[in-house]
Amino acid sequence: MTTKTAFDNAYFDALRAVDTPTIANAIEVVLGKRQGSGFTRRTVLAADPRQPPMVGYARTAQLRAAEPTSENPGAIAERRMAYYQYMAEAPKPSVVVIEDLDYPDCVGAYWGEINTTVHKGFGLQGTLTNGVMRDLDALAPDYPVIAGSIGPSHAFVRVEAYDIPVTVFDLTVNPGDLIHADRHGAVIIPDDAQAELPKAIETMMMRERIVLDAAKSPDFNFEHFKQAWACFEAAREK
C-alpha cells in the first residue's frame, strides 16, 4: 500500500513531545467525540519506561516461536531476508508492529540486542509487539520496545508473514497506519485526525491547565475547583 508522507519533521517532533494518552485525548478533540477503539486494551511492558514515544507508519509482521516448524529451512531463510528488506525499505518515520501468534503464551524473544540494533540501523523508530523481549541491558540505545513479556530464550522463533494486518493487545494495525506508542500502550491516529493533531494537542493542554493550575494553587478548595471546572467545560464547548 502507499504510505502518506505529507508531514514534515516538525509534525512528528510535535507528536513525540507528548505521551500516548495525550495523543488519545487530542484525537478526540479533533474528531469531536470520545473513542472506544483504535487503541491497545491490554497491559504492555516498556523495555525502558524513560524513553520518549515512538511515532511512525506501521511496518507489520507475524511470527511464531513456541514449537519447531516442519517448513523447508530454505523457505524460512528466504522469508526472513524478505522481511528484513521490507523493514530496511520502510518510509521514514516507521514503527515495527509484530504480532506473536503464540499470544498469550509467547515464549520466544525476537527482540533483543541483535534485532533492535539491526532495526535501528534501518532507521526504524521502535517496536510494538505482543511478544517477548530480552537483553534489556543491551538493547539498542534510543530504540524503544513495547512488548507483552520478558523471557530468556528465542525458542523456535521465525517470521511467518509480513506486510499484513496484525493484532496486538486487541488493537488491529494495518500496514501504513500512523502509530503513536509508549509505556502506556499504543493508538492509531486516524487519517481524518492527522493534519489537525498538533493544534489539537495545544488546545487540549491549554484547557487542562485551567484545572491543573487551580489545583496547584496554595488556596485551592472545592469552590475554586467548581469555578475552574466550569471554565474547563466552557472551553471544551468552543
Q: Which residues are annotated as a binding site for Mg(2+)?
A: 135
| CB 134 within 8 Å of CB 151 | yes
Q: Measuring CA to CA, which residue among 22, 27, 57 is closest to residue 190?
A: 27
User: How many CB atoms sit inside 10 A of residue 122's CB?
Assistant: 17
Q: Which residues are annotated as a binding site?
A: 134-135
Tally the C-alpha atoms within 13 A of residue 53's C-alpha that lie toward its C-beta.
Answer: 23
User: How many CB atoms sit inside 10 A of residue 92's CB?
Assistant: 12
Q: Which residues are annotated as a binding site for substrate?
A: 134
DSSP state, 81?
A: H
Cα separation of 94 and 166, whole Å?
Answer: 16
What does 117-173 look like in DSSP terms, one character per residue?
HHHHHTT---EEESSEE--TTTSPTT--EEESEE-S--TT-EEEEESS-EEETTEEE
CA distances from 9 to 6, 13, 55, 199 (A): 10, 6, 11, 15
